[in-house]
Amino acid sequence: MHALIVIDLQTDFCPGGALAVAGGDEIVAPVNAMMPEFDAVILTQDWHPAGHSSFASSHDGKAPFELTEMPYGPQVLWPDHCVIGSSGAAFHPELETDRADLVIRKGFRPAIDSYSAFFENDHSTPTGLEGYLRTRGIRRLTMVGLATDFCVNFSAVDAAKLGFDVTVLESACRGIDLGGSLAAAREGMRAAGVTLT
């Protein structure tokens, strides 16, 4: 069984959104087109309460894209984005969400960010996705979405560490690229055994 995992293809990560990834909207049509090729389609949705600890606006004197120290390690601070129930948190309006078997939300705990579809940024609190995939007999994963160097990267590396056979289809991903993060992400994914195509 082979699942397509579509990471955070949400309005706020597309041009015009609060944390826009360049070209983010370009991948919607190709992602829709590939959905029928898979045994399962799973969408992830970044889903933060207002005042989330990953927002620069929650930290005195901090600007977006600066780093801070969290109990679980360094954390990039972001503009307010994907606030629960907001229009920016919605999926891109053209994404064929009706085809999804599962929507997994992440980042809803106020004190901890969650890039990965599998674990929060403490690398230990699970989202439940691993159990879902295993109980459905899914071993192969193809990942697409936003952003290549953050949520796609963390999801792909965690999935490979958990023993899934993981491919990241780079033509259907777009990155943020903060201070070399895209090159570092590619290297980290390859080192973890992720296939990049």
Q: Does 100 sit near ligand VGL (CB under 6 A)? A: no
Say which residues have a Cβ less than 8 Å from residue 80's Cβ, sequence separation at least 6: 18, 50, 52, 55, 57
Binding residue for ligand VGL, selected from 151, 157, 166, 189, defined by CB under 6 A: 151
Active-site residue identified among 12, 80, 82, 151: 151
The token pair at 49 is 């309460």
User: Which residues sit opposite 141 in a β-bridge?
Assistant: 3, 166
| Region for 193 from its dihedrals, namely left if φ exceeds 0, alpha if ψ lies in -120 to 50, beta otherwise | left
Binding residue for Zn ion, selected from 12, 46, 80, 149, defined by CB under 5 A: 46
Q: Which residue in this structure is represented by tokens 């023993």?
A: 163
| Residue 118 near which of ligand VGL, Zn ion, none (CB within 5-8 Å, type-dependent) | none
Give the CA count within 13 Å in the CB-facing half-sphere of 14: 19
The token pair at 32 is 């829709």
Active-site residue identified among 25, 80, 82, 106: 106
> Candidates 33-41, 142-150, 166-174, 177-185 — which segment interacts with ligand VGL by CB under 6 A?
142-150
Active site residue 62: no
Active site residue 8: yes
Residues near ligand VGL (CB under 6 A) are: 8, 13, 46, 78, 115, 146-147, 150-151
Active site residues: 8, 106, 151
Residues near Zn ion (CB under 5 A) are: 46
